């Protein structure tokens, strides 16, 4: 059983803890927050003795922790992860992993030197139905293109409209729609089709200076992928991948419940998706535990390379729209 520490005391942290413990591979042992009082308040709901930290150096040095899940504000991910990696802890960082490719490359170098693993928690890649989608991609024949949709109105956009600047819509905290929601369809495209030859983002910038959403076009040698993503509006459209022999109809893009193969000639309409569990973070927790315990370097390097490619494309798309995080100006 791997001993899990957490940084970040919000709803997604609770979801990861639940998924990790449901996997039977992890047990929560430690909670970090900026104050011991906040750590204690978060820990209360788990009704067990947990080690509480308000000092990252103490967390990094603790023998009560094998790995740490980081869900602090985006701009703090790198400095938190480096301290833990240098101390020999495995690290799982909630997406988006870091602000720059230089940060990511350095962090992976530290992880390799220390003999530990660094993961980006792009949870949908580990879903059985995502793997089912990958397996059935050849059924549609030569690819003609795809439309990937992930648009969900954020309640924190109401705060922007009220004149506030929540972290997720702040340049100071490396926020914006692209890195928060757009990263999911970007990961899907890169995992399925590889890194695009070129990419273009028609961002709708908001008053805080980040992007609220907008369409993205990824160009490959023989086809294009259109991504519809945003946090200041909502879409109920499914995603589709088109080929010479048929179409794969996917809904939704994460926590996939439906994958339908539709033959162009109407001769086939087949449901491919498997039943899903309520908390799909369990799948990534299981896979990260497997890689750690089996020391599966090949699987780790695949995920590390994928994470770098996604961040490289994401940064290019932001910069096209003159969106630069404070972390990039240091």
Report the pLDDT value the prediction gives residue 159, as an integer from 0 to 100.
Answer: 97
Q: Is 16 inside any structural domain?
A: yes
Point out the least confidently predicted range of 110-124, 174-188, 257-271: 257-271
Report the pLDDT value the prediction gives residue 267, as an integer from 0 to 100.
Answer: 79
Is the domain of 145 the same as that of 89? no
**Claim: this prediction has a pTM higher than 0.75:** yes
Paired tokens of 46 = 């788990």
Report the pLDDT value the prediction gives residue 18, as an integer from 0 to 100.
Answer: 97
Paired tokens of 185 = 């369809």
Q: How far apart are CA 299 and CA 318, in angstroms?
A: 29
Q: CA-CA distances (angstroms) from residue 3 to 30, 35, 309?
A: 8, 22, 30
Which residues form the domain of 180? 125-278+311-329
Is the domain of 25 the same as that of 156? no
Per-residue pLDDT tens digits for 21-57: 999 999 999 999 999 999 999 999 998 999 999 999 9
Domain final position from 121, 153, 185: 121
Report the pLDDT value the prediction gives residue 17, as an integer from 0 to 100.
Answer: 98
Report the pLDDT value the prediction gives residue 268, as an integer from 0 to 100.
Answer: 76
pLDDT tier at 321, thresholds 50, 70, 90: very high
b/e map 283-298, b = 16+ CB within 10 Å? bbbbbbbebbeeeeee
Is the domain of 16 the same as that of 103? yes
Q: CA-CA distances (angstroms) from residue 225 to 5, 143, 169, 217, 220?
A: 38, 10, 26, 6, 8
CATH number at residue 228: 3.30.360.10
Is the domain of 44 the same as that of 78? yes
Q: Looking at the predicted structure, is the pLDDT value of residue 154 above 80?
A: yes
Domain final position from 121, 141, 166: 121
Is the domain of 257 the same as that of 216? yes
Paired tokens of 301 = 């390097």
Is the domain of 115 the same as that of 44? yes
Q: CA-CA distances (angstroms) from residue 78 to 7, 115, 119, 282?
A: 13, 18, 12, 24
Look at residue 23 and give its three-state secondary structure: coil
Domain final position from 71, 91, 121: 121
Give the CA dihedral 250, 226, 279, 79, nearest 10 degrees. Answer: 160
Per-residue pLDDT tens digits for 203-240: 999 999 999 999 999 999 999 999 999 999 999 999 99
Q: Is 273 left (phi over 0), alpha (psi -120 to 50) or beta?
A: beta
312's CB contacts (< 8 A; 6+ apart) are 101, 195
Is the domain of 194 the same as that of 64? no
Q: Looking at the predicted structure, is the pLDDT value of residue 266 above 90?
A: no
Is the domain of 56 the same as that of 205? no
Average pLDDT over residues 126-133: 98
Q: Looking at the predicted structure, is the pLDDT value of residue 303 above 80?
A: yes
* Mean pLDDT value across the chain: 97
Q: How many domains does the chain have?
A: 2
Is the domain of 235 the same as that of 265? yes
Is the domain of 163 the same as that of 111? no
Report the pLDDT value the prediction gives residue 322, as an integer from 0 to 100.
Answer: 98
Point out the least confidently predicted range of 81-95, 254-268, 283-297: 254-268
Q: Is 298 inside any structural domain?
A: no
């Amino acid at each position: 059983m791997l001993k899990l520490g957490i940084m970040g005391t919000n709803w997604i942290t609770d979801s990861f803890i639940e998924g990790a413990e449901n996997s039977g591979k992890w047990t929560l042992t430690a909670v970090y927050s900026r104050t011991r009082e906040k750590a204690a308040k978060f820990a209360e709901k788990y009704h067990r003795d947990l080690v509480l930290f308000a000092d990252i150096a103490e967390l990094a040095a603790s023998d009560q922790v094998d790995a740490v899940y980081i869900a602090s504000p985006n701009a703090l991910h790198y400095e938190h992860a480096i301290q833990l990696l240098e101390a020999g802890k495995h690290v799982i960082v909630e997406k988006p992993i870091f602000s720059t490719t230089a940060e990511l490359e350095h962090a992976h170098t530290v992880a390799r030197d220390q003999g530990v693993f660094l993961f980006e928690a792009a949870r949908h890649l580990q879903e059985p139905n995502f793997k089912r989608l990958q397996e059935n991609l050849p059924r549609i024949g030569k690819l003609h293109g795809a439309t990937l949709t992930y648009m969900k109105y954020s309640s924190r956009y109401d705060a922007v409209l009220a004149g506030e600047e929540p972290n997720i819509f702040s340049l100071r905290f490396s926020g914006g729609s692209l890195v928060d929601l757009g990263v999911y369809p970007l990961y899907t495209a890169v995992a399925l089709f590889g890194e695009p030859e070129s990419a273009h983002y028609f961002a709708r910038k908001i008053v805080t200076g980040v992007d609220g959403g907008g369409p993205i076009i990824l160009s490959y040698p023989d086809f294009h992928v259109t991504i519809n993503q945003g946090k200041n509006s909502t879409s109920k459209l499914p995603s589709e991948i088109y080929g010479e022999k048929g179409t794969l109809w996917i809904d939704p893009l994460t926590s996939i419940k439906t994958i339908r193969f539709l033959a162009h000639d109407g001769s086939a309409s087949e449901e491919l998706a498997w039943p899903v569990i309520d908390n799909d973070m369990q799948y990534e927790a299981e896979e990260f535990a497997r890689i750690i315990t089996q020391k599966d370097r090949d699987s780790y390097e695949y995920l590390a390379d994928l994470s770098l490619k996604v961040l490289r494309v994401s940064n290019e798309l932001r910069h096209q729209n003159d969106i630069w995080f404070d972390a990039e100006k240091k």
